[in-house]
Structure 1
Amino acid sequence: MTDQTFDALMLMALLDAIPDAVLMSDADGIITRANPSAGTLFGYDPAKLIGQSVNMLMPQSLSDRHDGFMHSYLETGQARIIGRGRAVEGLRSNGQTFPLHLSIGRADHDGNTHFVAILHDISARQAAEEALARSARLDAIGQMTGGISHDFSNILTVVIGNLELLQARITDDETQAMLADGLEAAELGAQLTAGLTAFARKAATQRTSINVNAACKAALGMIKRTFDPHYKISAELGADLPEVLADATQLQSALLNIALNGRDAMPEGGQLIIRSEAISIDDTYIAQELDVAEGDYVRISVTDTGRGMGPDTQQRVFEPFYTTKPVGHGTGLGLAMVYGFVRQSGGHVTIYSEIGHGTTIALYFPVLGEGSAQHPAVPPKPLEQRASANQTVLVVEDNPQVRKLTTVRLRNLGYRVQEAASGDHAAEVLQQDNDIDVVFTDLVMPGELDGLALARHVVASYPNLRILLTSGYAEDILNRQSANEPGVKILRKPYRQSDLAAALSALFDGGSSLHSLTSQVKE
């Protein structure tokens, strides 16, 4: 073997080992080499990229200008990106655009110019930055409102006190009525100020070691007395939960606030579920929730079957005075007070919602340290099981961050992975690829085929394939909304790596799991 042959083999091995995408092209932008990671990143067979223009991997707005950029660089030598790197947009084979970091190097050989591009998907980083910015914005608003509420409280103290003194001295009915109206307005102002104080995390709290389920049951009683009979209210409370440090009264108030918001989103009636459970959040979980620190928690979630929220509303829903209700029908402080209370308790709040499919708001409270709780801490779940037979899983998920996370998780478990951004795209992949063993699909997706419709399609057309569904909503809500699919197995988001491993392993443990699931989807 010559040195030249050895160098070529080492280069190929290096390209195969690099986790980032690497593309090589000539001066005209024609791809001459692509490593496996490039194929994974853009959704192409790497071999089929050879001979194609790099423009096919860019959105139209960028590809229209790319050739001009390169010709200008070759003529003038002015490097705007060579050796520097910058954030750009890429285009996957399914037409989806995504953010990536691009670095380009140049090499000249035998009078020919060649370029090497290294590309890295930065979707997760951008999502983390957005979550951090949102948290910082809420913290800044909290600091501002804390000062305002303090000063306004002093003003209202004087106003209310003087009105009460006047009320004691004046006897005629007309003036008494005017004073009563003034006092009522001032009391309303005091309530708004209390809400601002709670959001700013400066309200006085009685933080003690509490039994979460007892607080949930107390809140449930208030909610049932408040709601009309055409709302169905239920609870799923975990057994032997560890205790947390919080104000029980404020927790009950927070749950009532969330429930009332859920009721407003279900004007024609609907279902509300309060659930409590002990969870352990690890690094993988953090990548999904972004704003939840590592550790052991008790999670209380409130799920409704209402109208749901779009992404813009979810970004602002915890801000003071932000409301989607008509003027005069809400202060916009209910969820802001919830956010302030939970953060003041050292916890976290997350929201999962989609238009037309309801909302789940989850409160995370850190478990008390060893020795301070009456119940033992949550035992760690066993490590993830490894895939035993190198099976292939088709991940069907329209959220690019969740899809990327799921792909990484599955590969870490030893599975091969194919991706689809919708049920319609998944149907095309299944038609072209005979090596898929499992379809792992989200339930709520755009297009003609949502997750359940895709599952029915798979059962009818590919009876040997396993199916696993996932969703961010409570299982019983989904099952009751889809009355013809009772008992369909659903892996509830957010889930841990061990939960995913166990769910997939169950599908391959004999034929019973497959038969049970497919028969349920057929019904």
Structure 2
Amino acid sequence: MLVRRIRKWYEATQFLREHIWLGYAFALLTSIGAMYVRVLLSGVLEGFPFITFFVAIVLTAFIFGWRAGALAGALGGVISGYFLLPSDWSLFGSGMSNWIGMGFYIVLVGVILLLTAAMHRGFAEYAQDDRLRRQLNDLLEIRVAERTAELESANQKLRDEAQSRAAAEALVRQMQKMEVVGQLTGGIAHDFNNMLAIIVGSLDMAKKYFQRDPAKASRSIDHALEGATRAAELTARLLAFSRQQPLDPRVVDANKLVSGMSELLTRTLGGNVRMETVLAGGLWRMFADPPQLESAILNLCVNGRDAMPDGGKITLETMNAHLDDVYAAAHAEVRPGQYVAIAVTDTGTGMTAEVLSRAFDPFFTTKKPGQGTGLGLSQVYGFAKQSGGHVKMYSEVGQGTTVKLYLPRYVGEDEPLQHELPMDRQLQGSSSEVILVVEDEDRVRRMSVQLLSDLGYTVIHASDAKQALAMLETGGVAFDLLFTDVVMPDMNGKQLADRVRELRPGAKVLYTTGYTRNAVIHNGMLDRDVSFLPKPFTIQQLATKVRQVLDQKQ
């Protein structure tokens, strides 16, 4: 602490030492001052006069250095010899003590000068080191500032490049989206134009031959119906790919479902394809839409058959699966948990990595024109995602392909099974069964009324919900089934059904619509205990669904 303070004092008084004449003047003044003090205290201080000047010597040497201190010492010796010592002091006798005092004085002055010189040299070296250290620090700060500026400039360049890259990636994504939309639109337009050509051409032929050749007219009408059916199937596949098809999920035993499809698959795949089924023991139940699941399995098996032009084997396997957090993190839109997996494996030609990366794209196909629409796998993908599941494909050229369809495990109480109507069940209605049809589209309403009348039902109809409610509230109309469109102005079909059930508790309702986002379908799933018939529908589909709803127990 003391040394630090002395160093600070030394640095503060450095400007005095830069002017040597100040030191010499200080030495003269302090020597004269010491002599003056000696004279004032002559009655007290006697003997060894040299001691009078030690304070002046030390102070001068300490402040101004050894040169000024040496001058102070010389002045002290001269003043002592001329003014304080006897003028006749000799080398012998009593004068000997004066010479000894003079010698002792010279030695002490020399020691003082050596010590102060060493101290000044140390302080000077420290000051020089400190200046050098400050210079180095200043230089380091400059270098750090320069480097910081360089790094900031580099970081700004990186940020600019990142922004440019992000903008470029966004542009590429937008271009890819537009490419997909263009491909999708082109595919839809192509397929629909083909089907419309069949429908329009066939109906023109039927109109032409209606009178002259009824048989040919009937065949033309059959061709038009076939084209319309294909158009409806295409719409359903597009809805499946876009995850917008209305699903009616149920508790499903995958082993029973696969076993029940064996005859259909054998007949569809042909004789040169060997079918093998591996059913897991202790298989969990899944929660899915059974008809859509059957359609997905059929699509996968047909794709496997088409990949084996010379025949081969298709293995249909069920298993329990657990997808962990690591797998879910590596695959988009996959939630970790328990699943029931259905795997379809073929021994076909396999796929390259490029083809595999585009396998689920809509309208992408490696088949020859006319042999496929390119919507089969995209339909399976959309169904899996809409059902809360996952689909994974593995393929190797020359070895074959495996597609695994994961659907969520069902954990809960068993749901009541929905039994299909027996094949020989009479679908015709009775005139005692009254159906109230509510549809805001005139032509669709007339068609529905005509179809239901042809099936034998008594039909009453209304153009909107308000008219239907007025009929019920004022006319006291009795009916057995409300067959209503969902999307209508002012009041939708769900609101109408709720109001009707307030007036007629326990009334049976069958909804229909061609719009997938509506009051009875949420997140792509039908509400519980809702009967639904999607548009467009055939007379057979209408007859089956109406009969099924009417026969339901309250």
Q: Which has the higher strand share?
A: 1
Same fold, TM exceeding 0.5?
Answer: no
TM-score under structure 1 normalisation?
Answer: 0.41
Q: Which has the higher helix share?
A: 2
TM-score under structure 2 normalisation?
Answer: 0.39
Max Rg structure? 2
